[in-house]
Amino acid sequence: MIESTKSELIFINSKGEFLVNDKIGDIVDLIKAKDLSVRLLSNGYLLAEMNI
């Protein structure tokens, strides 16, 4: 699907929190490998818990 897109930017906004997906790093790496920018939308709840 990424190969057929003409997008320059991919937004990831999931049902729930993307940070609990153990594959999020792989997903972001795949998008960046296609020379696309990626933005992640989060409510930040888990970032506070992780002390980031």
Domain boundaries, the chain: 2-49
Per DSSP, the residues of 5-44 read: ---SEEEE--SS-GGG-TTHHHHHHHHHHTT-EEEE----
**d(Cα 15, Cα 33) in Å, to the nearest integer?**
24
Summarize pLDDT for 1-52 with one digit per residue, the tens.
Answer: 566 666 777 777 766 677 777 888 898 898 899 888 888 877 766 666 666 5
Token pair recorded at residue 22: 């153990």
CA distances from 7 to 1, 31, 38, 39, 42 (A): 11, 11, 11, 13, 21
Q: For strand 37-40 and strand 9-12, is the pairing parallel, antiparallel, or unpaired?
A: parallel
pTM (whole model) above 0.85:
no
- Residue 48 has a pLDDT of 67
